Amino acid sequence: MKLGSGMTRVCIAALSCAFFITGCRVDVRIDKGNDAVAEETAPASLKEAVASDKGLGSSAIVGACINSVNVHDKSFMEIVTANLNAVTLENELKPDAMFGYNNEVCPMAGMHEEEVGGKRIEVPALDHSRADAILDEIAAYNTGHPEAPIKVRGHVLVWHSQTPEWFFHEDYDASKDYVTKEEMDRRQEWYIRSMLDYYTGDDSKYKGMFYGWDVVNEAISDRTGTYRDESETSWWKVYGSNEYIINAFRYANKYAPADLKLYYNDYNECDSMKKKGILSLIADVKAADGTRIDGFGMQGHYTCNSPTADKIAEAATEYADTAGTCMLTELDVKNSMFYKGKSEQLPEEYERQAEYYGSIYDALRKIYAEGVNITGITFWGICDKYTWLEGHHPLLFDEGYNAKPAYYAFTDGGR
């Protein structure tokens, strides 16, 4: 993307901009000193621009992560509902949340028996309250807006992080030995079955809300470029192989509705060594009996101008060719090396950020037009007030809920 005709509307040193969110439309008023105020109207929303023939197709996912705090922030949710057609719960569907954040000791009071694979096993109770509190808000919105419902991405079933250590041990006691592979198989199948039945099953109150689910997250090591071993994950300590990954996609395929897309999700996905490992994982899953994988999620945690848009497009093409589909699932952009934390530098930094975001979007649109199956973009947040990247300004809206120049890298149809 080149700054020019379309991007003259952004906030640069000689301009002062005021942004007004009015319903579903974002109006931009640019004050050029003593000149008359020029008023232009951008496309009504991110979803209108990205999920279009000029973007990534009318069925594209345009999403962001939300959590238990910002879902109750009215200003935040107005931006979400105006601009997005999907959300990802940031933490509330992860294993530790489902176990009530009882990471040190399993809550034995909730233990009960369930049948898995013809054998009854003891399992802990799941706590759906945190996720349900968010999903109930989304469901209520969808009921009132059936013409523009918000879909949900499940995140995540199997991960080495945010899974209590006791889940891998005999009697759910981290001080005891690891369980056998056979026992872990049953626990994994129970957990995946329970989650998918509850949120996507025929009797679920959320039936039809979920478009996809991250089945396995971050299983490739940055250190080696191949599977995380026993030094990095208790899953490998139990199995000593990638069998748990294969099983996860097998069980997800067994219990998920046919229209629920199943994904592998990872970061540093443009690094050549790690990319090789991710592609190998996807191939291993596809080659196994009874599995299903529908796409790969490029997390997209980038730093301004790194990796290049060309490298992102190249990686996306390879992943889509191997997995079937590809999307950016956690996109945000850290500050450039030129930004030193001073407020007077922000206009120039926002300009750099907008150009980088725009170059990524243009590169994805180009390969989409060439037939690469890029199915959407999810941002890891929507405004800088709630970013996990403290000290950075990585998102499309600032801490005051104002649209930043990066917003127009996506919505400016005049580029």
Residue 197 lies in a domain: yes
Whether the per-residue pLDDT at 14 is higher than 60: the answer is: no
Residue 37 lies in a domain: no
pLDDT digits (tens, 9 = 90+) for 246-287: 999 999 999 999 999 999 999 999 999 999 999 999 999 999
Whether the per-residue pLDDT at 62 is higher than 90: the answer is: yes
pLDDT digits (tens, 9 = 90+) for 235-254: 999 999 999 999 999 999 99
Residue located via tokens 């942004």? 19
Residue located via tokens 């649209």? 403
Residue 30 lies in a domain: no
- List the one residue out of 69, 71, 67, 73 whose CA is nearest residue 92: 67
The confidence score (pLDDT) of residue 44 equals 65
Whether the per-residue pLDDT at 28 is higher than 70: the answer is: no
Total number of domains in the chain: 1
Residue 20 lies in a domain: no
CATH of the domain at 310: 3.20.20.80
The confidence score (pLDDT) of residue 339 equals 82
Residue 6 lies in a domain: no
pTM of the model: 0.89
Write out the two tokens for 287: 């080659």
Residue 5 lies in a domain: no
Which residues lie below 8 Å from residue 14, measured CB to CB, with a gap of 6+?
A: 32, 33
**What's the rounded Cα separation, in Å, for the pair 350 and 332?**
13
- Domain hosting 282: range is 45-411
**What's the rounded Cα separation, in Å, for the pair 233 and 240?**
10
CA atoms within 13 A on the CB side of 261: 20
Whether the per-residue pLDDT at 29 is higher than 80: the answer is: no
Q: How confident is the model at residue 143 (pLDDT cuts 50, 70, 90)?
A: very high
Whether the per-residue pLDDT at 26 is higher than 70: the answer is: no
Mean of the pLDDT values across residues 54-61?
96
